[in-house]
Amino acid sequence: MSGNTTRLAVGIAGVSAEALVAGRLILAFLGGVILGSLIGRLGGWRRQPMILVLVALLIALGALAGMWGAPAIATLLVAAAMGAENTTFERDGEVAIGLTYMTGALVKLGQRIASAITGGPKLAWAPYALLWLGLAGGAVTGAMAWPVVGLAGLWLAAAWAIVLAGGALAIAAREQRPEPKSSI
């Protein structure tokens, strides 16, 4: 949302329609964060799967909007989905892992590399590198697929979110099972 905030500011300064587009995207993202946080609080031990189902639903609605010739609405729904996605790893009301915060990931990557160079943990940088590579790789893949599939590619993203929700539910259910008691 840093880029959209910059676009909003530039649009306002230049009295451009770009400010309206950026402002709507920011509000949609914020709405997704609020909705994801609320659903997560209601979800109890199922919070992550419920949020991922919300993400899948928002993306699927975006795909439908695209099919119905409403790409602007599709974009807003996907922005809301990305806002909700960022609440997946919320702990005590705070985001523990920002899935779309690349500035922070790159700063932490640089800090962990500096730490490794000066004798700190040698691979503490790897999760931040993987997070950045995942987002960059997804962006490249999406940009390459766009000319071929357009907004219909959102169906694949929605399906993947459902797969992730199923995996998260299986993990959460396993963690909820009581430990077997020893009869000794």
Percent of the chain's residues with pLDDT above 70 = 91
pLDDT reported for residue 183: 62
Of the listed ranges 62-66, 96-100, 113-117, 119-123, the one predicted with least confidence: 96-100
User: What is this structure's pTM?
Assistant: 0.80
Task: Tell me what the mean pLDDT of segment 102-110 comes to.
Answer: 85
Task: Tell me what the mean pLDDT of segment 2-14 comes to.
Answer: 80
pLDDT reported for residue 184: 61
Of the listed ranges 70-79, 87-96, 140-149, 165-174, the one predicted with least confidence: 87-96
Concatenating the DSSP letter of every residue in 152-172 gives GGHHHHHHHHHHHHHHHHHHH
Rounded CA separation 85/78 (Å): 10
What's the pLDDT band for 80 if we cut at 50, 70, 90? very high
Q: How many C-beta atoms surround the C-beta of residue 109 within 10 A?
A: 20
CB contact at 8 A, 59 and 65: no
Looking at mean pLDDT, say which of 70-79, 129-138, 168-177 comes out highest: 70-79
pLDDT reported for residue 181: 66
pLDDT reported for residue 102: 79
CB contact at 8 A, 155 and 62: no
How far is residue 41 from each of residues 18, 63, 92, 173, measured CA to CA in Å?
Answer: 35, 27, 10, 17
Task: Tell me what the mean pLDDT of segment 109-125 comes to.
Answer: 95
Average pLDDT over all residues of the chain: 88
Burial class (CB in 10 A: 0-12, 13-18, 19+), 58: buried
Task: Tell me what the mean pLDDT of segment 59-87 comes to.
Answer: 96
